[in-house]
A and B are shown apart, each in its own frame.
Chain A
Amino acid sequence: MDTILSLAAQNLLSPIILSFALGVAAALAKSDLNFPEAVAKGMSLYLLFAIGFKGGASIADHGVDGQLIASLVVGVMLSFLLPIIAFGLLRTITRLSVLDAAAVAAHYGSISIVTFVAGSSILEAQGIGFEGYMVAVAAAMEAPAIISALWLISVKGGGEARGMDAGLMREIMLNGSIVLLIGSFAIGWITGKEGLAEISPFITDPFKGVLCLFLLDMGLVAGRGLARAGGAVSGRAIVFGVVMPLIGASLGLASAWLLGLSVGGAALMMVLSASASYIAVPAAMRVALPEANPAIYLTLSLGVTFPFNLTLGIPLYVALASAVIGG
């Protein structure tokens, strides 16, 4: 137990978590601290390229095995399953309509790539290795939850979903983050260690510094979202925003154990299962379920679950993965 607590404390006091906390604090204090939109976008592109490339290079180094395929399949299954659990929980503990509950549920089956990047960075800082293909698992877990949410609407009623037309499917599958992540993963895989060595001064050395600044910006976004949300979500919905990641992480840990992932891989599977989307899924929900209230799902995913995962969740998941998988 002491080890778990000391690991958690160590994570909480890391530069990236403290940078995020600074952003949240500045936003809540109504500071005018702000990042130009283009700078924030540039940083996110850099981080996605770097994490994808490093994952691909790691695959080139270790090769492809059945565990990779199994991890992808399990990731997709989790993404289909988690919204159904989230929907049931929301309908039990909150008064959200079927439509709003399904829209929120979709976010919790999908993933937050920033949380994943932060998690992998914390693992690297602690010298805990992880399977490079977890980047591909992250990409695979982005979209299935949206299909689950639309299925829930069709089964439970409560609204009219626009449906997954070709345009919406293309927007989800080819959204910039996915293309860059998979594309850089492929480049890293093709060029391997040599390719990584060539651009390492660009994608490895400055990575943590850029991540700190990016999370500072994300802290500002999350803090302002929280401040603006006001009465948009009930206390029970906020409880959901904290409990659901823990349920997701538990399923992620069980899946990782069954898959035989390493401690780092298990921690990242927990992070992916616990995180909630706030980029791809909100956009998909605006197209497919425009009557669902965006203030609810954005506040929960970005204002509650994202800060929770970043500050308390990731340290907890790393500690639990170490305790359960690492023995």
Chain B
Amino acid sequence: MEMHDAKRIEIMIEQIMEKRLTDLLIENGVSGFSVLPVRGGSGRSGQWSRQGQISRAEGMSAVVCLIKPERLDVLLDVILPVLERHIGVVNITDAKILRAERF
């Protein structure tokens, strides 16, 4: 089975900034991504949990997308301004995909 190289970008982002990020992804041709709720975690500001939160100010989301490797640098340049002043983590991993024409 033929497999193709891809980059998997996982962005943990403040819930309040999620739509700004996904809008940018769409504007820059990333039509496929997944948004996952984050139930809680721990970071530089200590532990937090989604439980009992009444404002969107504190929650986090995870946005995951797969792109062709050659598009990575351009995409990061575009999305970093949305992320740089906010709480969050961006991690990029090498991945293999089966149907390259979809990315």
Contacts and interface: CB of A to CB of B under 8 A. Distances in A.
B54 interface: yes
A298 interface: yes
Nearest to A34: B51
Interface in B54-103: 54-58, 85-87
Interface residues of B, number: 17
A287 B51 CA distance: 22
A162 B85 CA distance: 10
A34, A44, A291, A298 interface centre (most CB from chain B within 10 Å): A298
Contact of B52 (A221, A283, A287, A291): A221
A286 B85 contact: no
Nearest to A230: B46
Given A294-B58, A298-B57, A286 B16 contact: yes
B20 interface: yes
A53 interface: no
Nearest to B17: A287
B51 A283 contact: no
A221 B54 contact: yes
Task: Give the dominant DSSP class at B's interface.
Answer: loop
A298 B17 contact: no
A290 interface: yes
Nearest to B23: A167
A54 interface: no
A interface SS class = helix
Interface string B1-45: 000000000000010110010000000000000000000000001
Contacts of A282: 55, 57-58
Contacts of A279: 54-55
Given A167-B20, A283-B16, A295-B45, A290 B86 contact: yes
A285 B20 contact: no
Contacts of A167: 20
Contacts of A268: none
Contacts of A224: 52
Contacts of A44: 54
Interface string A263-307: 000000000000000111011011100110011001000100000
Count chain A CB atoms within 10 A of each CB in B16, B20, B45, B86 and give the residue with the most.
B16
A220 interface: yes
Query: Could you say which of B53, B56, B57, B86 has the most chain A C-beta atoms within 10 Å of its C-beta?
Result: B57
B55 A278 contact: yes
A40 interface: yes
Contacts of B55: 278-280, 282-283, 298
17 contacts: A37-B50, A37-B51, A162-B85, A221-B52, A221-B53, A224-B52, A278-B54, A278-B55, A282-B58, A283-B56, A285-B57, A286-B14, A287-B16, A290-B85, A290-B86, A294-B58, A298-B55
Interface of A: 34, 37, 40, 44, 162, 167, 218, 220-221, 224, 278-280, 282-283, 285-287, 290-291, 294-295, 298, 302
**Which 9 residue pairs of A and B lie closest in terms of their CB atoms, listed nearest first?**
A282-B57, A290-B85, A282-B55, A283-B57, A221-B52, A286-B16, A283-B56, A279-B55, A286-B57
Given A37-B51, A40-B54, A221-B52, 16 more contacts: A34-B51, A44-B54, A162-B85, A167-B20, A218-B54, A278-B54, A279-B55, A280-B55, A283-B16, A283-B56, A286-B17, A291-B85, A294-B57, A295-B45, A298-B55, A298-B58
